[in-house]
Structure 1
Amino acid sequence: MASKVIKIAVPVVIIVLAVVASSALISMRKPPEKKEEQRQSVLVNAETIQTEDLVYKIRSQGTVKPRLETNLSSEVNGRIVEVADNFIEGGFFNEGDLLVRVEQSDYLTNVKAAQASLANAQAALEEEKARGRVAEEEWRSFTDGTAPELGLRRPQLASALATVRSAEAELERANRDLARTEIRAPYAGLVKSRNANLGQFITRGSSVGTIYGTDVAEIRLPLTDNDAGFIQLPDFANDSVKPDVTLTATVSGEVVQWPAKLVRTEGVLDERSRVIYAVAQVQDPYQRNSPDKTPLRFGRFVQAEILGDATTNVIVVPRYLLLAQQQVLVVDKDSQLQFRPVVLERSDERHAYVRSGFLDGDRLAVSAIANPLAGTVVRVSGDTDEQVADDAASEEATALTSQVKE
């Protein structure tokens, strides 16, 4: 019996001793040292706010088109006997150059026939004039009264004169038809398309081709009401105002610019886009007078920069920094984030031009900050670098002082 008690008591004693020992060890353990966690302020980039005096540059775009475009048509019937070598797609020509000639034989015959009719009419007129003089002399030899119109052959003279004028008109018409057998360029330009070939028979009104004038090119530039408010647009009352325009395009991998002038507006708003179109002109776009320069070809899409009005004391802010309700995120004089409502003079796709709204000591926050809150204390990048430099200089000065004392 005693042995059984001992067998039961020994394990119990061991467990009790283990519990007591562990409790003692736990009570002797020192608690871990508590350190307060210090969270650094958010590091942001900020720029000093400065006012500027500038001239607005309004951006637009458009396609280059010729000011003059003509569909050449024949005014006579006939077979084409000559086509100019430069009357091909892309060929250049000067004003007055012969492009197409129609066979002239029939028209030369018509001219000769009209000349003969005119000669006969003029001879008949001279004959009637002579008869009129003879009739007047005979009348005066028999009586002293006033001779009647019929007696002096005045009606016959008028009829002969009318016949002469009709013959002259027929000769003029024949000469015009003869001249129209030659289709000449009404201005200097290039050939857009050709619809007639050598030996082809054409009739009056047949199209022989389309030409473009190369003296002046035009570009229609859409402007919103906001943009138009900052440009001195030419109008009928003040057509001397022609703002400068710079056209830009990439040609063969190189960025090329051409000077232009804003010469007019189309006067009405587009019903669909609600913009007004201004028209810029470029002189000698194909550089025919300056062959060493890059030509501005018709059909090219160009970017336009229009020189607008001047302004003073505005703050230029990148457009992406402008928040909803015309607010801008700034770092105030206490290094806290603040949302500043600002007054805009205008804005475009790149910049916002602020007239007022910033306070003294504000700096423009240009960093991307997730969920910014007003009043959040931040560290400005430039200020942090200066503080680190000052601390390093102070430590170096302290070390040098210690070495001198030793």
Structure 2
Amino acid sequence: MKRIVVPIGILAGCIAVAVYLIRSPTQVGEVAPELIPIAVRVAEVQLESVQLTVESQGKVQAAQIASLSAPVAGPIAWISPALEAGGYVEEGQTLLRLDTSDYETARDRSRAGMQQALAESRHADSELERIEALAKDRLVSDSQLQDARRMAEVNRARQADAEAMYRQAELDYERSEIRAPFNAIVERREVELGQYVNRAQSVAILYGADEVEVRVPLAIRQLGYLDIPLGARGELPDNEAPNVTLKGYYGGEEYHWEGKLVRTEATIDPNSNTVQTIIRVDQPTMPAGRKSSGSQNLPLPIGLFVEAEITGKQIDGIISLPRSVIRNNNQVLVVDAENKMYFRDVQIYRLEEDRVLISSGLLPGELICTSPIQAVVDGMSVQPVREFI
């Protein structure tokens, strides 16, 4: 009997408790969830004066290139030891001599011809003076006087021709010795000892040693960041030429060189839409036998690839912020006095690798969010944490 009564009692008790709970439910009041503002880093907007720079790359090339040629023909009798690839030669230094036997003979013959013409001219002049004296006393005919005058003029012309031939022979003799037109590095030699060279035949290629140039491409927009007159023709005056710092690696070490942007080329590259600019660097001069040490003494090698940093305009009243503050191409997050954050459109003057320059859209003293927040709602509350840039 107990086996039947006990389960029935338990079931009845459970039903009674359930009915009671249903008829008298507990009322729970609604409470708004507490919102905790997100902590974000902010930077204060300040107007600054910024020195712009423009960066590019290029390859070093010679500022002067000379194809040294023989002004006269003849066999090569002597070649300077410096006339080898990589050799250094100074202006006026003798590089090559031709065999001068033929030119010495021609010079001697021209001198003899000149002396003969001089003697003939003097004799004709004295004869003319004698004839003119006789003509005053009417002792010679007019035809004899005219013949004497003609012979005097002919002999003067022969004398002038003989003197010109002598000067040419002397000049050819001097030209048999070929000298360096400027301080140069020998790129290559194209003749050998004993070889017969013709007039105007190339004997060597020389690169100027006093200065080199770097041809650097710049985008058209980058030209606006430089403090140079656009459309200027020819070389810029020294006081208007921007300073340039070149960086390159040579022999496993980093070196720096100082130069100037001296001119821009006249055409725009249709493929890359860039303008080629020319940077000139003065090469250091070193005494013979002295090794260079440091970037101040190392000549800038021709053919070296270098990075160029060109000094640009000085911009006043510009806002400089980390590049990471830009969102949606032209917006920033501004935190107001109530710690509410909003999107703001700004005018970007220039985007650089690690910073952005803003020309308008912000006021000095405003706070700009620099934290990399992904989900942002206009007007959301934040807890600003100031950082100094």
On whether the aligned pair clears a TM of 0.5, the verdict is: yes
1:113 CA displacement: 1.5
In 2, the alpha carbon distance for the partners of 1:164 and 1:249 equals 64
- Letter of the aligned partner of 1:256 in structure 2? Y
Uncovered stretches (5+) of structure 2, i.e. residues with no partner: none
Q: Which residue of 2 aligns with 1:160?
A: 155
Q: Please report the RMSD computed on the Cα atoms of aligned residues, expressed in angstroms.
A: 3.5
Higher relative contact order structure (alpha carbons within 8 Å, sequence separation ≥ 6): 2
Aligned with 1:45: secondary structure? Answer: strand
Moved more, 98-107 or 217-226: 217-226
Larger Rg: 1
Q: Could you report, residue by residue, the CA deviation over 1:213-271 in whole angstroms, capped at 9, with x for unpaired residues?
A: 11122223333343322333264697342222222223344432222222223344333
Q: Could you report, residue by residue, the CA deviation over 1:49-102 in whole angstroms, capped at 9, with x for unpaired residues?
A: 222112222223322222111111122222222111111111111101111112
In 1, the alpha carbon distance for the partners of 2:280 and 2:354 equals 26
In 1, the alpha carbon distance for the partners of 2:140 and 2:100 equals 59
Q: Which residue of 1 aligns with 2:250?
A: 251
Q: Could you report, residue by residue, the CA deviation over 1:293-350 in whole angstroms, capped at 9, with x for unpaired residues?
A: 2321122222222222222221112335433452223433333332221123334444
Does 2:181 align with 1:186? Answer: yes
Structure number having the greater helix percentage: 1
In 2, the alpha carbon distance for the partners of 1:40 and 1:17 equals 53
Q: Which residue of 1 aligns with 2:227?
A: 232
8 Å contact kept, 2:69–2:203: yes
1:18 CA displacement: 7.7
Q: Could you report, residue by residue, the CA deviation over 1:161-220 in whole angstroms, capped at 9, with x for unpaired residues?
A: 221222222222222222222111000011111111222222223221211111122223
Q: 1:365 aligns with which of 339, 354, 369?
A: 369
8 Å contact kept, 2:76–2:196: yes
TM-score, normalising length: structure 2: 0.81
Alignment of 1:315-326 (within 5 A): 315-326=319-330
Q: 1:119 aligns with which of 115, 122, 127?
A: 115
8 Å contact kept, 1:325–1:341: no
Q: Which residue of 1 aligns with 2:104?
A: 108
Q: 2:125 aligns with which of 126, 129, 132?
A: 129
Q: Which residue of 1 aligns with 2:276?
A: 277
8 Å contact kept, 1:224–1:274: yes
In 2, the alpha carbon distance for the partners of 1:130 and 1:360 equals 101
- Letter of the aligned partner of 1:49 in structure 2? V
8 Å contact kept, 2:244–2:258: yes
Does 2:259 align with 1:263? Answer: no
In 2, the alpha carbon distance for the partners of 1:173 and 1:320 equals 76
In 2, the alpha carbon distance for the partners of 1:207 and 1:308 equals 43
Uncovered stretches (5+) of structure 1, i.e. residues with no partner: 1-5, 384-406
Aligned with 2:261: secondary structure? Answer: strand
Change (3 A) 1:157 1:331: same
Alignment of 1:1-400 (within 5 A): 40-142=36-138, 147=142, 151=146, 153-233=148-228, 235=232, 239=237, 240-283=239-282, 285-288=283-286, 291-292=292-293, 293-359=297-363, 362-381=366-385
Change (3 A) 1:73 1:341: same
In 2, the alpha carbon distance for the partners of 1:102 and 1:281 equals 36
Change (3 A) 1:360 1:137: closer
Identity %: 29
1:362 CA displacement: 3.5
TM-score, normalising length: structure 1: 0.78
